[in-house]
Amino acid sequence: MDKKLRLQTLTGMRDILPQEQVYFKKVQKSVESITNYYDFKRIDTPILESAEVFSKGTGATTDIVQKEMYSFRTKGGDLVALRPEFTPGIARSYIENGMYNMPQPVKLWTLGPCFRYERPQAGRYRQLLQFDIEAIGDRSASIDGQIIQMSYDILKDLSFKNLNIEVNSIGDQECRSHFKKILTNYFKSRKSSLCSDCQRRLKENPLRILDCKEEKCQRIRSGAPQIIDHLCEACHAHFKQVLEFLDELELPYVLNPYLVRGLDYYTKTVFEIVEKSETGAIQGALVGGGRYDGLLKVLGGRDTPACGAAGGIDRIMNLMKLREVKPDKKDEKPMIFLAQLGQLAKRKSLKLFEEFRASKIPVAESFSKDSLRSQLNSANKMGVKWVLIFGQKEALENFITLRNMETGVQEEIKLDKVVEEMKAKVKS
C-alpha cells in the first residue's frame, strides 16, 4: 500500500499558533510603545531584495552571506535573496528614498521575519522573527546610548530580569586595519589549533575569530590582544562618551574586549544584552547591535553615520512562555458575552456586535451555537461578568436581557441604549 503523502513545515520553519500569538503580540506592543515614545517611525522593507544589498552590506565573507543566505536567480536572471537581517535593506531604503533631506537623525523601527539557512535548534529557526531599531545620520555617542537604553527598556518591559549589557568598541577603518595585523600575527602561530572556519577567517577577517563559539577557539582567544588598547584617539574618545552615557543612565554593563559581532559593517560601539540565570549562566544574547558609520557609503550613498540594534523575538517568546509571562488581563479577555437565539436575533446581533466594535468594547460571542445553555456554558468558561441574552421576543420588542453572571440578577435594557449602558458598566 502506498504511503499517504504527509505535508508538513520545512526544516527550521514553524507555525505561530493562536496560543503563541499572545506572546508575539506582547513583544510587538512593547517594541511599538517604546519606539513611539522615542519618536521612531515604522518602516517596512521588502522580504526579497537584490542579493547585492546583503553581500555588500552585511559582508561577502560573513557566515550569513557565505553559508546562511537564501539566494536564487529569478526567471529574468536577477540574483535575489530573502533578507537575513534588516539593517542593509533599511540603509538601501534611506538612500533610495532621499532621506538625507529629512531632519537628521532619521529614526526608524520595524519587525517581521528574516531568513537564514542554519542548523535549527532551541529558539533558533530558519524563518526567524526580529525587531529592529535604527538611527541614521548622527555621529553623537548619545545616539549609541539611546539605542542601548531602548533595547534594555524593551526587555525590562517584557519582564526580563538580571540583564547585563556587554559592550566594546571595534574602532574604525583607521585603527582597525592596524589592529588586524597585530591580531593576525597572534593567531598565525596558533592556526593549527583553530577550527576550520577560523582558519578561513584568519585570512579573510581575523576579527571574526573573536566571535567564534567553538571552545578550542575561545581558549586561544583568551590570550589575544584587545582592540580597546589599540583604538585611535577619535574612537577612544567616542567610546569613553558612550560609557559615560551608560553610567549616567545607570545601566548595568560590562566591558567585553572580545565582543565584535559577526557583521562587516560595524564600527566603534558594539553591544549585546544578555540575561543571567540564577546560577550565573548566560542565556544567550537577546538583543545586539552597534554603530555602522560606513554602511551607507558601501551601498552607494553618502558617508553617513548610523547606529542600530536587533532583537531575536523567537528566543524572547520562548523564554516568556517558559516563565509563563502573560499579557495584561485587560488585553486577554472581554467582560461581555452576546448570546442569541433564533434567526431574527442572530441577524440583529451582527449589527449590534458591530456597534460594540465601533465603540471599542470587546464582546465575545458564539454565533454558531443555538442553545442558550451551551452559550452560557461558553460564557462561564471565559469568565465574563455579563451576558447579553437576545432571543426572539427581545428581537421583536427591541430590548435585550442582561444577566450578571456573578449574582444571577437579570434586567432588561432597550436595544438602542445597550451599547451606551454597557460602556458605563465596563468602565466602572
Q: Residue for cell digits 517594541? A: 31
Asked if residue 261 belongs to a known ligand binding site, the reply is: yes
SS3 333: coil
Asked if residue 253 belongs to a known ligand binding site, the reply is: no
Q: Using omega within 30 degrees of 0 as the cis cutoff, is the peptide bond preceding 362 cis? A: no
Q: Which residues pair with 287 in a beta bridge?
A: 273, 311
Asked if residue 421 belongs to a known ligand binding site, the reply is: no
Using CA atoms, how far residue 300 sits from 42, 89, 172, 296, in Å, is 23, 13, 19, 6
Q: Are 290 and 268 in contact, with CB atoms under 8 Å apart?
A: yes
Asked if residue 116 belongs to a known ligand binding site, the reply is: yes
Contacts of 311 (CB under 8 A, 6+ apart): 31, 130, 131, 132, 151, 154, 155, 286, 287
Asked if residue 23 belongs to a known ligand binding site, the reply is: no
Asked if residue 176 belongs to a known ligand binding site, the reply is: no
Angle formed by the axes of helices 18-37 and 313-322, to 10°? 120
Asked if residue 131 belongs to a known ligand binding site, the reply is: no
Asked if residue 49 belongs to a known ligand binding site, the reply is: no
Spatial distance between the Cα atoms of 167 and 240, rounded to a whole number of angstroms: 12
Asked if residue 204 belongs to a known ligand binding site, the reply is: no
Quickly list H helices, 58-172.
Answer: 63, 87-96, 141-157
Report the binding-site residues: 85-87, 116, 130, 134, 261, 265-266
Report the binding-site residues for L-histidine: 85-87, 116, 130, 134, 261, 265-266
